[in-house]
């Protein structure tokens, strides 16, 4: 394999049915930092690759490749391994038969497959040729080396690891080696009168745990995948029952399918599921909510009829809190059919409805900008705009989600600075009628596909969570536990329970060390303080400019103008 040079052009291709785009966006941004031109396949090419043997579809694929002078092609598929094998093999054989690869006298130097480890193994057994595989969790440097990129083109920031990250890693290795997390006790979060009843709420549980000193509340997003809808629902029901019995989980987040979000209540005949729990009736939602008690339940918003879906979730789930994506999950990212302005209008109407219920709102916003290369200023400002809009339309409790490690090479001190600035600005909106509740989580692309190493990573990121507000024993109020198996396979209830125990056990162990002065001092480190002050100043100035120059900023039209600018 000849080494890639600065003149090479990269193409990224996936099927339309696979909505997982975060890894593709992360790798694209990293390659752009190295100075490469990136081309992401348009929708018509994504559709074509699902049946590349058809004449018109093959023409669309080859026209895209040739028209953009692509020399390195990456194909991504993160759903069912057998489907991934079929999609890739059909594409690969056609590329060779059309003589598009270097081996056949063509222009494609390198072909890359990114997917689940099981899919990679199936392809290796079928195709013996020189294909590069990404199974998930590769470091940025490992990724660039897999692409045969010269180190001279690597971003300099990749070649250094900060002492704070080293200190957290050392703590996490020692913690996991002890295996003490397996004995993590069940903490009483269920002792208040309304718990598990129809009038139970997130705020009641939060107040009870705050009074008992047993925060954080634990949220998990879970759901099995099966091409058979009835089997998927049956399996998920058994998962819910097991998780409820564990008494470790406060908020079950239903990992609903793309079809549920985009076509709820419609005829799905002939439509691809795209992963997730395929819920399609109000009765199915109600049955899950009943099985989940005493856990609270939440789920994704819809990608159309957003106000109606919010009302239905309230009616069927007594949803613990609502989550809205504002600018996202519409035509702009391919996750829905709403135009951007109509999406914003529907979201504002949904916020107005949610405010009448008294339920919290979680803006599911900032990390979507980060997935696509947004900087820290964009991350913070988008969260602030979403929060102030929520307050404007009557929301009383805001769940402030902060996804750490996004992108995954982010230094811990950068996450601390960004998280503290976001909290500072949004908590300035607080008053007697508006309260902010911090929810922290690991990044989607954070974990490596080595289960023992990923357990260490889970303990390591938990330590970072405690350092956002190290002097506040009630922070974070919520931890969204991302299970350590995520880079390898969907998390089963057993893995979810173990992940919760690692999180709670490492949080206690880290706080014990901190009380003895044996952790990195993040409150007085000059580099963190300087980063914080610079970011805070830039964000304040940016917000002032937006508010001064965009009329009616906190309306659908105003937020639409922000996205265009």
Do the bridges between strand 9-14 and strand 72-77 make them parallel or antiparallel, or are there none, so unpaired?
parallel
The pLDDT assigned to 410 comes to 87
The pLDDT assigned to 141 comes to 82
What does the H/E/C string look like for 327-385? CCCCCCCCCCCCCHHHHHHHHHHHHHHHHHHCCCEEECCHHHHHHCCCCHHHHHHHHHH
Where residue 520 falls among pLDDT bands split at 50, 70, 90?
very high
Q: Which residues pair with 221 in a beta bridge?
A: 253
Where residue 220 falls among pLDDT bands split at 50, 70, 90?
very high
Q: In what order do the strands lie in the sheet with 397-403?
A: 296-299, 251-254, 217-222, 478-480, 435-441, 397-403, 361-363, 322-324
The pLDDT assigned to 3 comes to 72
**Residue range 458-497, pLDDT digits in tens:** 999 999 999 999 999 999 999 999 999 988 888 999 999 9
Task: Show the domains of the chain with their CATH numbers.
Answer: 9-159 (3.40.50.280), 165-361+387-561 (3.20.20.440)
Alpha-carbon span 165 to 461, nearest angstrom: 10
Q: Which residues pair with 170 in a beta bridge?
A: none
Spatial CA neighbour of 279 closest among 294, 297, 345, 295? 297
117 Cβ contact partners less than 8 Å away, ≥ 6 residues apart: 135, 136, 449, 488
**Residue range 265-305, pLDDT digits in tens:** 999 988 877 678 999 999 999 999 999 999 999 999 989 99
Higher pLDDT, 409 or 457: 457
Q: Which residues pair with 269 in a beta bridge?
A: none
Spatial CA neighbour of 562 closest among 389, 436, 402? 389
Q: Are 407 and 444 in contact (CB under 8 A)?
A: no
Alpha-carbon span 65 to 107, nearest angstrom: 9
**Residue range 2-18, pLDDT digits in tens:** 678 888 999 998 888 77
Mean pLDDT, rounded, for 192-221: 96
Instruction: Encode 78-113: b = buried (16+ Cβ within 10 Å), e = exposed.
Output: bbbbebbbebbeebbebbbeeebbeeeebebbbbbb
- Would the CA dihedral through 427, 431, 434, 439 be positive or negative? positive
* Phi, psi torsion values for 310, nearest 5 degrees: -60, -40
Higher pLDDT, 371 or 7: 7
Is pLDDT at 157 greater than 90 in this prediction? no
- Share above pLDDT 70 across residues of the chain, in percent, rounded to a whole number: 98
The pLDDT assigned to 20 comes to 66
Half-sphere exposure of 165 (CA within 13 A, CB side): 13
Q: With 0-12 CB in 10 A as exposed, 13-18 as middle and 19+ as buried, what is 203? A: middle
Q: With 0-12 CB in 10 A as exposed, 13-18 as middle and 19+ as buried, what is 249? A: buried
Alpha-carbon span 458 to 247, nearest angstrom: 20
**Residue range 27-63, pLDDT digits in tens:** 888 888 888 999 998 889 998 888 888 878 888 999 9
The pLDDT assigned to 561 comes to 95
Alpha-carbon span 397 to 119, nearest angstrom: 43
Helix (H) or strand (E) holding 299, with range, is strand 296-299
Instruction: Indicate the angle between helix axes 412-427 and 376-392, nearest 10 degrees.
Output: 20
The pLDDT assigned to 417 comes to 97
The pLDDT assigned to 257 comes to 87
Is pLDDT at 103 greater than 90 in this prediction? no
Average pLDDT over all residues of the chain? 91
* Choice among 156-160, 281-285, 521-525 with the minimum mean pLDDT: 156-160
Mean pLDDT, rounded, for 393-407: 95
Element counts in the chain: helices (H) and strands (E): 20, 13
Mean pLDDT, rounded, for 323-336: 89
The pLDDT assigned to 2 comes to 63
177 Cβ contact partners less than 8 Å away, ≥ 6 residues apart: none
Alpha-carbon span 64 to 319, nearest angstrom: 44
297 Cβ contact partners less than 8 Å away, ≥ 6 residues apart: 251, 252, 253, 254, 288, 289, 317, 318, 319, 320
């Amino acid at each position: 394999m000849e080494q890639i040079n600065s003149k090479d052009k990269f193409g990224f291709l996936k099927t339309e049915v696979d909505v997982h785009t975060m890894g593709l966006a992360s790798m694209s941004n990293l390659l752009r930092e190295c100075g490469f031109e990136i081309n992401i396949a348009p929708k018509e090419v994504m559709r074509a690759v699902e049946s590349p043997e058809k004449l018109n579809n093959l023409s669309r694929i080859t026209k895209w490749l040739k028209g953009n002078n692509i020399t390195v092609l990456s194909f991504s598929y993160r759903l069912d391994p057998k489907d991934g094998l079929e999609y890739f093999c059909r594409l690969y054989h056609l590329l060779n038969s059309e003589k598009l690869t270097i081996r056949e006298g063509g222009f494609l130097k390198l072909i890359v497959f990114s997917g689940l480890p099981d899919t990679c193994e199936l392809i290796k057994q079928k195709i013996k040729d020189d294909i590069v595989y990404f199974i998930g969790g590769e470091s940025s440097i490992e990724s660039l080396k897999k692409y045969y990129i010269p180190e001279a083109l690597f971003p300099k920031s990749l070649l250094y690891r900060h002492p704070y990250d080293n200190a957290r890693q050392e703590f996490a290795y020692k913690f996991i080696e002890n295996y003490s997390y397996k004995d993590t006790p069940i903490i009483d979060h269920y002792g208040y009168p309304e718990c598990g009843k129809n009038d139970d709420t997130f705020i009641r549980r939060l107040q009870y745990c705050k009074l008992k000193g047993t925060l954080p509340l634990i949220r998990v997003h879970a759901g099995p995948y099966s091409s058979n809808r009835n089997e998927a629902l049956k399996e998920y029901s058994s998962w819910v029952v097991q998780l409820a019995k564990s008494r470790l989980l406060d908020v079950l987040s239903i990992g609903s399918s793309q079809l549920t979000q985009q076509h709820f209540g419609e005829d799905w005949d002939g439509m691809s599921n795209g992963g997730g729990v395929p819920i399609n009736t109000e009765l199915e939602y109600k049955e899950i909510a009943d099985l989940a008690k005493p856990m609270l339940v939440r789920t994704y918003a819809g990608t159309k009829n957003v106000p109606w879906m919010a009302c239905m979730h309230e009616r069927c789930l007594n949803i613990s809190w609502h989550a809205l994506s504002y600018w996202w999950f519409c035509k702009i990212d391919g996750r829905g059919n709403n135009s951007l302005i109509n999406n914003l209008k529907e979201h504002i109407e949904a916020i107005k409805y949610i405010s009448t219920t008294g339920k919290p709102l979680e803006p599911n916003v900032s990390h979507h900008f980060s997935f696509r290369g947004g900087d820290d200023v964009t991350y913070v400002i988008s969260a602030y705009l979403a929060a102030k809009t929520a307050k404007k339309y009557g929301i009383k409790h805001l769940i402030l989600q902060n996804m750490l490690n996004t992108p995954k090479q982010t230094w811990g001190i950068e996450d601390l600075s960004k998280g503290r600035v976001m909290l500072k600005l949004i908590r300035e909106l607080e008053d007697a009628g508006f309260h902010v509740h911090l929810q922290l989580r690991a990044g989607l692309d954070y974990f490596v596909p080595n289960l023992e190493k990923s357990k260490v990573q889970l303990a390591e990121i938990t330590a970072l969570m405690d350092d956002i507000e190290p002097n506040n024993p009630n922070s974070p109020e919520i931890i969204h536990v991302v299970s350590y198996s995520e880079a390898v396979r969907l998390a089963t209830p057993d893995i979810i329970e173990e992940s919760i125990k690692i999180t709670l056990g490492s949080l206690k162990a880290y706080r014990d060390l901190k009380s003895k002065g044996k952790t990195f001092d993040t409150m007085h480190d000059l580099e963190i303080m300087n980063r914080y002050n610079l970011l805070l100043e830039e964000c304040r100035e940016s917000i002032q400019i937006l508010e001064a120059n965009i009329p009616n900023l906190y309306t659908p039209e105003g937020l639409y103008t922000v996205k265009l600018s």
